[in-house]
Structure formats: C-alpha cells, structure tokens
C-alpha cells in the first residue's frame, strides 16, 4: 500500500465537491455521525437528498457563504492505496490556493462540465498543472447525465483538451466520462455510458504508477539539523539529519557540500536508529561524513559527480500570493528546502495570462494570484535544480520579512 496525493481542479458548478463527496461516500470513508450532521444541514437548506457537496465544506465562514476559501485536505483509502485529496477552490481569485495544493500533488483531476466543454477555467487549471509539473492528469468530463451520455460530446472535449495539453507539455493524461451526482464511472463501470471501455475513476486512481515520479538518479540531501549528543560515550558523534528529497546514497559515496564546495565521503547512514548501507528518497535519515568539516542547517549535500546549479541569479516563474503588490526591487527572504537567504526581485519580464498563456510584457506591479516571469538575485549563492527536471529542489518560497507571511512561490526555470 502506498500514497497518492491528488488535487481536484474545478468549481462547485462543475460538481467538484459532489465528486469528492462521492469518492468519500462510495469508498465508505464517511461515518454515520458525519452523515447525520450533513443530513441536518441539508434539511435546513430544504434540499431533500443528502448533499454530498457538504462533506467537503469546512469552516462556518464558508458554509454561510456557500464557498470554499482555502485548501482542505481529505483522506480515504482502499485496500490498495491511501489517498490524500487537496480540495482547492477553482475560481481565478483562488489561483494561489490551487498552486499550493498542486505543489504536492502526484495527480490532478481536471473537471469539465460536459455541457460547457473546455472553457477558460479549464485552460487555467491545465496551465497551473503544467507550471507546477503535476506528473499525472485525469480529465473527468462530468454531468454526462445532462449531456445524454453522448459519446460525441465526450470525444469533442477530448480532442479540445488534447490540443491544449500538447501546447503545455502535459503528460500521462487519462480521460473519463462521469456523473458524480449519480455515481457513474466513479467506483463501478457505468451502465449508462456503455461505449466507454476504460476503468472507472477509482480504479484509475488506484492503479496509476507514482513511484517512478520520485527521482532516484540525482541525490539531494538538505541538512535540517545537526545531531551532536556530546556525551562521554558519543563524544565524537556528529550526524547530519535530513530527508533525502531525491536520489540514492550509499556508504562510501563521494559528496560535495554546497554552497561551500567542501568535499568528503559518506562514512555511515542511519535510519530509524539502524545503520544501513544505502538510503533512498524520500527517507528521513542521518548522514555521517568521513571528514570533520563545517556543515550545518541550510547546506545541501550532493554527489560530487552530479552537482546542481550554484548561482545567485534565478530565472523563475513566480506565483504571487501576497495581498500587498510586488514591484521590482522589493526584497524578500527566499526559502528553498532548509536554506533561507535574502533576495531582491528584479526584472519582471512578463505576466502570464493564466487563461490564455499570453505573455503581457512589463506588467509593472504584480497583484495577488498573478503569475510572472522574473529574475531573483540572492544575497549569497544557493544550490538548486531546474524545477522541471527535479521538483524536489527547484521550488522555493518568498517570505515578506516584515510580516513573515509567505508571499510567493517560485518555480526555477532552466538557463536558456
């Protein structure tokens, strides 16, 4: 049994909450008392049947306004897999929420209303999925019951989306016709959609291979914390605690510590109190080095034969998440894994229209939910990879030093 983390992209109108409610309900993850609570609210609204969408509503503020203001995490499991759903709202004013949910997702379900086809919102969701490099996409064409279960309707949407996906380099796409409200093609194959010969949604989610999305070729180990017991019997013990975010390390590997550039070899690896000969991502481990050198939190330990980039100038796609606007020359803290450095945002070259992919040159000030291409200059060199090739060491956040709030998400782009 492993874990699949996915995000659902769509709005209430597309039946997103109903779909999530249906997955939870049909996988028997909803308990009687939770259903009773929803039954009470449904009666208050005088809607009749239990409203599956209510299963995903969280806070009172949202219930009163009938909206979702934030990312909510939901859990269910089948004998094959544990699922973590990031439920983010789909409207443009919540782009930052979707970016947040997408950052950890193995898969995105893009919901399309069969009656409306590929619309502006679909493009936006596909663009965000592409920017955040979500490895797998499921296009769920919902409300097939309201489109006469028509194969033509489904095929036309498929053709439209495939064209969009090609322009965005989206990969690993599955298409599925569903009715979340009635449960068609959710857990069981639909009798109403007999022309569809693929698996129902839950089987797709259970069987998509996500292991290969973890990069095992490039070892990256950000040091989080140094363990030094300083007791009599462990006088010389010095262990570097952290998570191997990608790759494999073996005892004896030659490594370089960045940004200092010092070199050493791995003398021992511990995990869970045991010594092991090798470790792999995403294990949390303790590394020991042969040489007594100065290594601390914020350093990145990499294989000497496979160095990342080390630079003070980053070319990034930046999703702005702050309520105060960004202007060129603003200074922030940049945090990438365990390292934090001062930075200045320079040269905001264009704003990406997330509905059309159009590049709007010289956008001036950058507002909440804007996505721009910019250059970031750091006060000291940092080690990183291109986000597209190594998600685990190519994403960084910007923090406003005066408010301490996280105001930006950076996807580091390759040098052209």
Site for other proteins in 257-296 (CB under 8 A): 272-273, 280, 282-284
Instruction: Specify the pairing of strand 248-250 against strand 274-276.
Output: unpaired
Which residues 14-33 are close enough to bind other proteins by CB under 8 A? 31-33
Report CA Rg, the chain: 24
Task: Find the binder of other proteins among 295, 354, 399, 412 (CB under 8 A).
Answer: 399
**Of all helices (H) and strands (E), which one includes residue 120?**
helix 120-131
> According to the binding rule CB under 8 A, does residue 225 interact with other proteins?
yes
Tell how far CA 271 is from the center of its chain. Answer: 26
Which residues, other chains included, contact 158 with Cβ-Cβ below 8 Å and sequence gap of 6+? 139, 141, 175
CB of 155 to other proteins, least distance (A): 36
Q: Would strands 107-113 and 136-142 be described as parallel, antiparallel, or unpaired?
A: parallel
Does residue 216 bind other proteins (CB under 8 A)?
Answer: yes
Q: Is 2 in the site for other proteins (CB under 8 A)?
A: yes
- Binding mask of the shown chain, residues 144 to 173, with x at each position contacting other proteins by CB under 8 A: ------------------------------
Supply the minimum distance, in Å, between the C-beta of residue 59 and other proteins.
5
Closest CB 307 distance from other proteins, rounded Å: 21
Count how many residues are written for the chain. 416
Extract the tokens encoding 238: 């010095």
φ, ψ of residue 169 to 5 degrees: the values are: 60, 35
Residues 311-350 that bind other proteins (CB under 8 A): 321, 333, 335-338
DSSP result, 335-387? EETTEEEEEEEEEEEEEE-TTT--EEE---SB-TT-EEEEEEEEEEEEEE--T
Contact stretch for other proteins (CB under 8 A) within 6-14, 121-129, 309-317, 390-398: 390-398
59 binds other proteins, rule: CB under 8 A: yes
- Span of 114-122, 164-172, 301-309, 389-397 interacting with other proteins by CB under 8 A: 389-397
Query: What is the total count of residues that contact other proteins (CB under 8 A)?
Result: 71
Q: Which of residues 37 and 159 has its CB atom nearest to other proteins in the complex?
A: 37
Nearer to other proteins, 274 or 362 (CB): 274
DSSP 56: G
């Amino acid at each position: 049994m492993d874990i699949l983390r996915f995000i659902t992209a769509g709005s209430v109108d597309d039946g997103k909450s109903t779909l999530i409610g249906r997955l939870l309900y049909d996988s028997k993850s909803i308990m009687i008392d939770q259903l009773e609570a929803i039954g009470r609210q449904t009666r208050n609204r005088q809607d009749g049947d239990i409203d599956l969408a209510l299963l995903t509503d969280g806070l009172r503020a949202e219930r009163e306004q009938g909206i979702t203001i934030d990312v909510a995490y939901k859990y269910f499991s089948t004998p094959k897999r544990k699922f973590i759903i990031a439920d983010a709202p789909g409207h443009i004013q919540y782009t930052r929420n979707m970016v947040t949910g997408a950052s950890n997702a193995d898969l995105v379900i893009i919901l399309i209303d069969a009656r409306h086809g590929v619309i502006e919102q679909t493009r936006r969701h596909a663009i965000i999925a592409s920017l955040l490099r979500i490895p797998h996409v499921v296009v769920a064409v919902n409300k097939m019951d309201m489109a006469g279960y028509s194969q033509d309707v489904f095929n036309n949407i498929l053709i439209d989306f495939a064209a969009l996906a090609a322009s965005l380099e989206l990969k690993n796409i599955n298409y599925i016709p569903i009715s979340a409200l009635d449960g068609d093609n959710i857990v069981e194959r639909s009798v109403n959609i007999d022309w569809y010969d693929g698996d129902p949604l839950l089987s797709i989610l259970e069987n998509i291979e996500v292991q290969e999305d973890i990069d095992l070729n490039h070892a990256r180990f950000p040091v989080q914390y140094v363990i030094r017991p300083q007791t009599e019997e462990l006088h010389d013990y010095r262990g570097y605690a952290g998570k191997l975010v990608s790759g494999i390390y073996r005892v004896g590997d030659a490594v370089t510590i960045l940004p200092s550039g010092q070199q050493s070899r791995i003398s021992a690896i511990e995990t869970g109190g045991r010594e092991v000969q090798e470790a792999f991502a995403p294990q949390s481990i303790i590394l020991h080095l042969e040489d007594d050198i100065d290594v601390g939190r914020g350093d990145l330990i990499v294989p000497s034969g496979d160095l990342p980039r080390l630079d003070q100038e980053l070319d990034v796609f930046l999703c702005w998440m702050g309520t105060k606007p960004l202007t060129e020359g603003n200074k922030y803290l940049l945090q990438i894994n365990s390292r934090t450095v001062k930075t200045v945002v320079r040269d905001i070259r264009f704003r990406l229209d997330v509905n059309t992919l159009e590049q709007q040159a010289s956008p001036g000030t950058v507002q909440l939910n804007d996505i721009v291409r910019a250059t970031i200059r750091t006060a000291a060199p940092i080690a990183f990879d291109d986000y597209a090739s190594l998600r685990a060491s190519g994403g960084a956040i910007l923090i406003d030093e005066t408010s301490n709030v996280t105001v930006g998400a950076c996807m580091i782009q390759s040098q052209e």
